[in-house]
Structure 1
Amino acid sequence: MGEKREQAMGLLKRMLAPEMAAELGKGPTGPSFAGQIGEMAMNNIFEPLWTDDTLDTRTRSLVTVSILIALRAYEELEIHFPAAIRNGATVAELEQVIYQASGYAGFPAAHSARNVAIAALGRAGMLG
């Protein structure tokens, strides 16, 4: 395993819920249909982007959440809301990202993201 891969794997293990990190450590699992997607994510997203130290992981998480809200990528938001907290973002900052997104990505996208955040952060024990 190369240095960038090791760095990306370490980052993912810190970002993800413990059970997700454990699954990640097992390598590819599940159906073989489009089975290369995880490797593509590692090669094209996590290794080159998340390991670059130009932006810290907190900032990258806030940017990622913003983009996912705009894309209405709710399944990915379920992972990235708690990951953002693990990367140093606060609940108040995530709230502000949702509010900001309402003006630029639309109220329906922001409202749906709010519902995803409540569920995901609640399951992770990250809401007060």
Structure 2
Amino acid sequence: MDRIEKSKEKYKQLFGDGVPAAYATDPDFQDILSRLIFGEVFYQGNLDDKQRELITLVVLTTNQTLPQLKAHVGAAMNVGLTPVEIKEAVYQCAPYIGFPKTLNAINEINEVFKSKNIALPIESQKTVDEDNRFEKGLATQIEIFGDAIAKMQEATPSNQKHIQEYLSAFCFGDFYTRGGLDLKIRELLTLCIVSSLGGSDGQVKAHVQGNLNVGNNKETLITAITHCLPYMGFPKTLNAFSFVNEVIPENE
């Protein structure tokens, strides 16, 4: 199939038999969009449709493009993602984009779930409690980043130590330890989130290395960032590529 036929087939798989509303007003633009996203990007690299839709959800959440997020919640379910997986992907955004934007996205997801008679709240994926969230979060940090965590903590000024404690207990304890998604996909989603934020160069580089440490190879990172392209644009995509190439040179 050429990219036109591929785009039609993929769009139908994701969204059903409907026609995008933009065809009535901006058909040329919709053709460019559909053929790039659904005819090319969706077929590039080594990720499956479930992984691609998880990436789409977190980038749309990060960008706060909520109408498109709502549409992709349905698409995510159409390719086999569960309500738990969808919620966990969006929860994963909170440490990087903040609670208000994450809540905006959760509200959109809940509307879709209610329309499909999915009972709320969905089952809890919590695995930590108040007594061990810091300990388990720190252990997860070390699993992802290794010795870099100890070095970072040693270099942190004394009046900022609380931020490192929050990072371990909140970001990694409260979120990374949850069920529903495994560590490899959580770390891959985090790379996509920080890449789409812009201005987070140090975090992008750190999470490229973190992905490598948990078993996501360079091909997977290139594919994931390519999948972000239609939603975050070329500048952020090329920046992320440069950090992947810096951390993982081609000769490696």
TM-score by length of 1: 0.81
| Amino acid in structure 2 at the alignment position of 1:23 | V
Number of the residue aligned with 2:10: 11
Query: Could you report, residue by residue, the CA deviation over 1:68-104 in whole angstroms, capped at 9, with x for unpaired residues?
Result: 0000000101100110111121110111112111111
Number of the residue aligned with 2:129: none
TM-superposed CA distance for 1:126, in Å, is: 5.8
Match of 1:127 among 111, 118, 130: 118
Shift of the 70–56 alpha-carbon distance from structure 1 to 2, 3 Å rule, reads same
Alignment of 1:70-89 (within 5 A): 70-89=62-81
Bigger Cα displacement from structure 2, 65-74 vs 51-60: 51-60
Number of the residue aligned with 1:23: 19
% identical equivalent positions: 21
| Amino acid in structure 2 at the alignment position of 1:4 | R
Q: Structure 2: give runs of 5+ residues left out of the alignment.
A: 120-252
Q: Structure 1: give runs of 5+ residues left out of the alignment.
A: none
RMSD of Structure 2 on Structure 1 (CA): 2.1
TM-superposed CA distance for 1:105, in Å, is: 1.6
| Counterpart secondary structure, 1:47 | coil
Cα distance in structure 2, aligned partners of 1:28 and 1:102: 31
Shift of the 43–23 alpha-carbon distance from structure 1 to 2, 3 Å rule, reads closer
Cα distance in structure 2, aligned partners of 1:52 and 1:7: 12
Shift of the 51–35 alpha-carbon distance from structure 1 to 2, 3 Å rule, reads same
Cα distance in structure 2, aligned partners of 1:57 and 1:119: 23
TM-score by length of 2: 0.43
Number of the residue aligned with 1:42: 34
Cα distance in structure 2, aligned partners of 1:96 and 1:76: 18
Number of the residue aligned with 2:58: 66
TM-superposed CA distance for 1:30, in Å, is: 2.0
1:7 touches 1:47 (CA, 8 Å); kept in 2?
yes
Shift of the 10–35 alpha-carbon distance from structure 1 to 2, 3 Å rule, reads closer
1:4 touches 1:51 (CA, 8 Å); kept in 2?
no
Q: Rg larger in 1 or in 2?
A: 2
1:65 touches 1:81 (CA, 8 Å); kept in 2?
yes
TM-superposed CA distance for 1:3, in Å, is: 2.5
Bigger Cα displacement from structure 2, 88-97 vs 37-46: 37-46
Number of the residue aligned with 1:94: 86
Cα distance in structure 2, aligned partners of 1:28 and 1:63: 23
How many residues align? The count is 119
Alignment of 1:99-114 (within 5 A): 99-114=91-106
Shift of the 43–77 alpha-carbon distance from structure 1 to 2, 3 Å rule, reads same
Number of the residue aligned with 2:144: none
Query: Could you report, residue by residue, the CA deviation over 1:28-63 in whole angstroms, capped at 9, with x for unpaired residues?
Result: 7423xx442211112322111112352111000000
Cα distance in structure 2, aligned partners of 1:73 and 1:91: 20
